[in-house]
Structure 1
């Protein structure tokens, strides 16, 4: 098990960062390694971002010291996406099968969490939880679908809400997946901030040579991070978060904070961006 801890960073500090420092603080570059669970603990709403690759053998979710409880889910909930292959999660011995594109909501109070599957790769996000909601598997066709964007603005995309109040109960975790249509590049534009919630963008399904230019920072002090396949970006509430790719890609977004209102966004006018 590998875990890294990231402190919360303010806008004043971020203005002084060069490329290497921005990547060190906000980019999670290595999430997947065969036979391992890799995690990053962020002090942004105490979110844990992780990847698990069973590689043919059962792989139990460990409880790292930053969690501070005997079991990982004693005071936490988890959203798990299968992003490649097929496999299963065993929750206290109950096995739930997942295909690529499926999501599993793991509630507070779950004891043992075991990842299984010879070719499966799992991406997960965990946030603190105050009560236990029912476990729920959400297939791709069960998520709430929104077709968004315009050809003229190069932002045609399909957004699916998986862990969302209209789909399944959760304490604060909200998760979904967005897929960019062929010929489009932007994943969110105009951009926005929401100081009530932090967010994580996990980019995947990128070709080897494809990169996404992820934009962050204050609207008046924007920065960018170049992101490759299966990398994630931590986004504080004060920062914009949007990206443009050099080829097709998808991303899984997750939010945590004061509310679960997906439409609670403070949009930024194009003329105010710098």
Structure 2
């Protein structure tokens, strides 16, 4: 497995968390991997063997690119042999406005958008082993798109506050940081991201727990709950299971197992 992350140009840092590349070889047999929720929406270009989702008992290949929105449960993908991804990890309160796409609560969006026209050229760069050229083309596409989008200062300020607090800031304080009422902020946030401030904050906080357990599977959950603003350990465990489908303890145990649940690459 090969994984790399790349910082966005400065002009995109209020919109995009990072660009990333992942390469895996799953072998000849159909294999599955689970992606856990976090606080981002992602655009996924994939190359090599098709990537599929199970729908009504049948594997249905996904086109490239597709968008993975904010998840509230793990999503399981299937593939085999060589599989490569270029991902664009976006802040959910900006990506839909940036690309002119409607927000929604579907975990996987099949998108009809001019960005899909990049697939052929990107596939040629990837096939030739020229990742830098592929990334340069994607970055330029988003830089050009960014020029045509006015920044929503309210959402930008709210996003900065939420990120700084890792999702632990109450909605009233997020609204104060954005110089808005709670009602106005929630309305604008839902329109832009498809989710409320509280929804996204919960995902951001879950992401902190997930990442901490990924690095420190023996972490003290009571102490982690206190640090991240949960009421108590039981509250942390309920929220963790809500988003991951498993308990923190079971997740920690899975980390050392070859087929354990994996988060989105970080």
TM-score, length of structure 1 as denominator length: 0.34
Going by fraction, where is strand more abundant, 1 or 2? 1
With CA pairs under 8 Å and 6+ residues apart, which has the higher RCO, 1 or 2?
2
Higher helix share: 2
Length-normalised TM-score, structure 2: 0.35
Task: Kindly name which structure, 1 or 2, has the bigger radius of gyration based on alpha carbons.
Answer: 2
